[in-house]
Chains A and B, each alone.
Chain A
Amino acid sequence: MSSRIQQLNNTAADLVARVSKSVVHIGNGSSGGAGTVWHPDGLIVTNAHVAQGESLWATLSDGRSLRAQVLAHDRRRDIAALSVDATGLPAIELGDSRSLQAGQWVFALGHPFGVRDALTGGVAIGTGSNWNQGPLAGMEWLMLGLHLRPGNSGGPVFDTEGRMVGISTALDGPESGLAVPIHLAKRFLQDSLRLTTAA
């Protein structure tokens, strides 16, 4: 029994080690945030509210700090695409946010309160656009049992296979986090960068 739990722990640890290679820290002159390597040739996805400031710096998992340019952003949906001058970066594997079900296990990596590559795990509470609370109303979100905090914003939410399903964006209370579903990020990149990704 305990060996099964140990097996679970080891699987989770391997998964997190793998995904964390794709997680970057975004410095913006104030509190900063997180971002995710979307394409090996220097394309990084984050929140629009993280990609603000005079100058942006992306610190990669290998320790390099590179100047980042904003390619496109959408403030309403809180998504931004950044570019850094690098190639061969470890891009994250993309998942399907539309097939994410309530009860499924998810994780988020980010830098809450500046703590680098901190993990939070929990289950998906619900998905879709059926939220009756104020700022959420009418928008599509992933509602997650994750402890998202300032500094998590822009980082990846991923499933048990390490596939990114959302962008950590906000908290709806101490115990529940909100993420922009990855299919909206794909659409944004397609529309704004004419970039086609395998969806």
Chain B
Amino acid sequence: MTLLTELSDTLASTVTKASPSIVRVEARRGIPATGIVWSADGIIVTSHHIVQHDEAIKIGLDGGETVSAELVGRDPSTDLAVLRTDAKDLTVPSWAKTDGLSVGHIVLALGRPGKTVQATFGVVSALGDSWVTPSGGRLDRFLQTDVVMYPGFSGGPLMDVSGSIAGLNTSGVLRGISMAVPHGTVKATVETLLKHGRVKRGYLGVGTQPVRLAEALAKQAGQETGLMVVSVQPDSAAEKAGLLQGDVIIAIGGEKMRHVDDLLTYLSGAAVDQKVDAEIVRGGKLRKIAVIIGERG
């Protein structure tokens, strides 16, 4: 057998091996999409954007059987949804840590929009650090591939060549770009949705705009800009912490606040009800106040 045939057979056997853990999700008009078995007792993880109706969701299993499912919860900001079926003894796939992944690695995207599992091929195009989606969800890694997201592939696995799942493919986070939500974020989100039915996102209750710091302050704080509080929402975490209009936020929880994006990024990953220190400038002087992070409604 040539090396080429060996490669080809390995790819095909990766698909066959993963097949029992890949399900069809019928929760929208038109072409169904894909989901991944999360636990043997019937939990399925898929993409939020393909679950267009909460009722009458159907899951197509590997053996050809179709079972009904209910929506446990969804997190639009990471484009994930969790479904529950009555199916038992499902095959749980193995997940890979993204640490082992590099740009250039061969990957497969699998989907089950129909009866059988389909596959497309590509490489890891970009792998970055933690990244915040346009809708404010934090992914533990930015994982982009060049696999073709064939219709109905959203919610399916991105497989590495060892047959482990590196992430959940979605075309719903960035249009026209094949992104995968990495295992770390999938795990955290699924666990939260199973526990609470929703994902809590941090909230402060301030309107801000970036301002340039006076030279002496800039030197002291080690940054040139901060965020001036232009409004404080009544009963918000900010008001309770005593933040006032005109305060300039320098840092929260040790993270420097130079631009409005810094605050949004920080809050999307911040633990609700957590007590953190905020460094602010008030009356021309640096000071610290304690803030308890609120929840975005």
B115 touching A102 by the CB < 8 A rule?
no
As a 0/1 sequence over residues 113 to 138 of chain A, the CB contacts with chain B under 8 angstroms (1 = contact) are 00000000011111110111100000
Q: Which of B3, B12, B115 contacts A101 (CB 8 A)?
A: B12
Check A145 for interface membership: any CB of B closer than 8 A.
Answer: yes
- B43-51, B117-125, B257-265: which lies at the A interface? B117-125
User: Are A4 and B114 in contact, with the CB atoms below 8 A?
Assistant: no
CA distance A161 to B8 in the complex (A): 10
Smallest beta-carbon distance A6→chain B, Å? 10
- Give A42 to B16 CA distance when docked, in angstroms: 39
Q: Quick one: given A104-B9, A132-B114, are A160 and B120 in contact (CB under 8 Å)? A: no
CA distance A187 to B8 in the complex (A): 27
- Asked, given contacts A11-B2, A130-B114, A175-B148, whether A160 binds B8 with beta carbons under 8 Å apart, the answer is yes
Q: Is the CB of A159 within 8 A of B114?
A: no
Residues of chain B from 86 to 124 with CB closer than 8 A to chain A in the complex: 108, 110, 113-121
When distances are taken between beta carbons in the complex, the residues of chain B under 8 Å from A101 are 12, 15-16
A156-193 vs B: 1/0 string, CB under 8 Å?
00011100000000000001100000000000000000
Would A104 and B118 count as touching, CB distance under 8 A?
A: no
Q: Across the interface, which residues of A come within 8 angstroms of B3, CB to CB?
A: 4, 7-8, 11
Nearest opposing residue in chain B for A159, CB measure = B8
Residue-wise, chain B 132-172 has the 8 Å CB interface mask toward A (1 for contact) of 00000000000000001010000000000000000000000
Decide if B2 touches A126 in the complex (CB within 8 Å): no
Inter-chain contact B117/A102, CB cutoff 8 Å: yes
Chain A hits for B8, CB < 8 A: 104-105, 159-160
Assess whether B77 is interfacial by the CB under 8 Å rule.
no
A133 neighbours in B (Cβ, 8 Å): 31
Q: Is A15 an interface residue (CB 8 A)?
A: yes
A11-B4, A131-B114, A160-B4 as given contacts; A103 in contact with B150, CB under 8 Å: no
- A4–B10 Cα distance when bound, in Å, is 15
Task: Please state if B121 and A145 are interface contacts (CB–CB under 8 Å).
Answer: yes
A70 within 8 A of B: no
CB contact list, B40-89 vs A, under 8 A = none
Least CB distance from B63 to A in Å reads 15
Contact A125 B4 (CB under 8 A): no
Interface: B251 (CB within 8 A): no
Cβ of B220 < 8 Å from any Cβ of A? no
Q: Which residue of B lies closest to A131 (CB)?
A: B114
Chain B nearest CB, measured from A173 CB (Å): 8
Closest to B114 in A: A130
Contact among A102, A105, A161, A175 with B118 in the assembled complex (CB-CB below 8 Å): A102
Nearest CB of chain A from residue B8's CB, rounded to whole Å = 4
The residue that B12 contacts in the complex, of A103, A143, A145, with Cβ under 8 A, is: A103
CA distance A132 to B113 in the complex (A): 9
Is the CB of A12 closer than 8 A to any CB of chain B? yes
Do residues A128 and B116 form an inter-chain contact, with CB atoms below 8 A?
yes
Enumerate chain B residues within 8 angstroms of A104, measured Cβ to Cβ: 8-9, 11-12
Q: Which residue of A lies closest to B148 (CB)?
A: A175
- B108–A103 contact, CB under 8 A? yes
B→A interface (CB under 8 Å): 2-5, 7-9, 11-16, 31, 108, 110, 113-121, 148, 150
Chain A residues near B (Cβ < 8 Å): 4, 7-8, 11-12, 15, 101-105, 122-128, 130-133, 143, 145, 159-161, 175-176
With A11-B2, A11-B4 already in contact, 17 other A-B pairs whose C-beta atoms are closer than 8 Å = A102-B12, A102-B116, A102-B119, A103-B15, A103-B108, A105-B11, A123-B120, A124-B119, A125-B119, A126-B114, A132-B31, A132-B114, A133-B31, A160-B7, A160-B8, A175-B150, A176-B148
- 10 A-B pairs closest in CB distance: A105-B8, A126-B118, A103-B15, A102-B119, A101-B12, A123-B121, A103-B11, A103-B119, A130-B114, A160-B5
Query: Can you name 16 A-B residue pairings with CB atoms under 8 Å?
Result: A7-B3, A8-B7, A11-B4, A102-B12, A102-B119, A103-B14, A103-B16, A103-B108, A123-B120, A130-B114, A131-B114, A132-B31, A132-B113, A145-B120, A160-B2, A176-B148
